Structure 1
């Protein structure tokens, strides 16, 4: 799918029907087919394949092809089934336009066009659209971290609350904690790759002949935002680790209580079992077998030993 935008006042608007992509300042390619790729490549821009975008070498993710700056980052997004995962997104920045290539749906690419007028970078040039989109992506990562904080607050109230939690509830809490840990890992990867991209972009911008003097300042401000989010991310990761340990500890305590109860119940039956085992032996010389009330005496001894064991455990506080 291809979407093309042009400036509309302080914001962006889709290109009217009948206009080719050459009139756009921002072209967004989502899983482009051969025809859509050919339309963009006719503008002199090489569109990378998904295999090219997945290359992990920095030299492949951040490089220049003439006047085109090729920058690839890893961003969290959702697939067609709504599952969240990280995948590469490539920015192709030229003096004439910005082209983005992606094969999943990070939310900033769906919301930026309608909110571009509120961007601190503006949307009058391709480079300002690029920085505005980066600003939207950073804001999205902040939203994800805030959502993680809310989930951890809820889980903490469940795990540390005064009301007892059953094992199934604790297991669900542990699943939620694990999901948030995976999400923070995706956000960390996004922030890391975006930080590398912005630092490279700042260097490239400094070598441009007709550069906008505000661009470097805006990019450095976004770098500071990323650094602040990384500090907050470290704090959330420590909370995830603490919540994981606490939840596992609660599960172990609950399971230990069950094991202790079973152990006590088994201990209560040890003395009666001993008495029954003694009188179940088939020795010829067992005088008690000839007593008329021997059976009832043995039963009474079994009950008395069990009750005595229970009273002793109770006095020790084991029950």
Structure 2
């Protein structure tokens, strides 16, 4: 899919389909078809492929070719089934256009065009659009971190509040908290990639327009750094809650093992009595006693009661 926008006044307006890309200030390629890639490359640009965008080497993610600056970052998203996704997004900054290339659908790319005029960067140039989109992405990551914090609050509430009946299925709670830890790792990686892209964007810009953009770059960088600290704090909470859940699992297993051990000890003395009188010897004492069965049964019951009272006295029950 291809979306094209033009700056009109203090807002961005989508161009009618099929758009005239020469008039566009922002071209957004989402899972582009070959003909759409060819239309953009007809402007003298080289559109990176998904394989190029997934390169691990930093030099292949953040680079300049001619007068085009290519910044590739990793961003989270959700599929139609609300399952988390994470993938690269490339920003191509030319002297007069911004081109974005993506193969998944982060929410800021849907919400930003509707209120691009209300962010702090404004819509004066395509570079302002880039910083405005970065601000929208950072705000989205802040919302996602806040959602993780609320989930951890709920998990902690179920674990620690004595007025709330604790979940018996601790394994499900452990999986839930563990999934939040994975989400945090993705969000933190997105923040770090955004910070690195902004650092590269801010280097070497000495023109009048670029000097006016520096406060916006610094503001976004400070926001990202604050969110990285918050993500680290939430990661610590995930580790803490995980340790508590594992501790409770251990306590429950210990209590179960203690109950099994006590039951086994209770039945050990009567088993011993029954074993003695079950021996196959001819001259077994008491074997011919008229009340032998009752005496043996009484010994077994007495041993059970005696063991139970002893365990209670020792505080094991």
TM-score range, shorter chain: over 0.9
Partner of 2:150: 150
Q: Tell me if the contact between 1:167 and 1:254 (Cα under 8 Å) persists in the aligned partners.
A: no
Q: Does 1:167 align with 2:168?
A: yes
Structure 2 equivalent of residue 256 of structure 1: 254
Runs of 4+ displaced beyond 4 Å: none
1:101-146 C-alpha deviation (Å, 9 max, x unpaired): 0111111111111121111111121100000000001111111111
Please list, as runs of the form range in 1=range in 2, the aligned pairs for 1:65-84 lying within 5 A after superposition: 65-84=65-84
| Contact map agreement 2:158 2:167 (CA 8 A) in 1 | no
Distance 2:128 2:82 in 1: 31
Structure 1 position 16, deviation (Å): 2.2
The verdict on how the C-alpha distance between 1:108 and 1:261 changes in structure 2, with shifts beyond 3 A counting, is: same
Quote how far apart the aligned CAs of 1:10 are: 1.9
Q: Does 1:294 align with 2:292?
A: yes
Q: Distance in 2 between matches of 1:285 and 1:317?
A: 42
Deviations 1:262-308 (A, max 9, x none): 11111110000010111111112112110011011101110111011
Indicate the SS of the match to 1:82. Answer: coil
Is 1:87 aligned with 2:87? Answer: yes
SS at match of 1:291: coil
CA offset at residue 172 of structure 1?
Answer: 2.0
Matched ranges for 1:248-287 at <5 A: 248-287=246-285
Matches within 5 A, 1:124-273: 124-162=124-162, 163-168=164-169, 170-206=170-206, 209=207, 211-273=209-271
1:311 and 2:309 aligned: yes
**Distance of 2:310 and 2:285 partners within structure 1:** 31
CA shift for structure 1 position 80: 4.5
Query: Which 5+ residue runs of structure 2 have no aligned equivalent?
Result: none
Structure 1 residue 63 displacement after superposition: 0.6
Query: Could you tell me how far apart the structure 2 residues matched to 1:121 and 1:2 are?
Result: 24
Query: How does the TM-score come out when normalised to structure 1?
Result: 0.95
Q: Distance in 2 between matches of 1:300 and 1:14?
A: 93
Farther-moved stretch of structure 1 (253-262 vs 51-60):
253-262
Tell which deviates more after alignment, 249-258 or 137-146.
249-258
Question: Quick check: 2:205–2:211 contact (8 Å CA) kept in 1?
Answer: no
Q: Could you state the TM-score of these two structures normalised by the residue count of structure 2? A: 0.96
- In structure 2, what is the Cα distance between the partners aligned to 1:37 and 1:261? 69
Show CA shifts across 1:18-55 (max 9, x none): 54122111111111110110111111111000000001
RMSD of aligned C-alpha atoms? 1.4
- Rounded to whole Å, the distance in 2 between the matches of 1:123 and 1:86 is 28
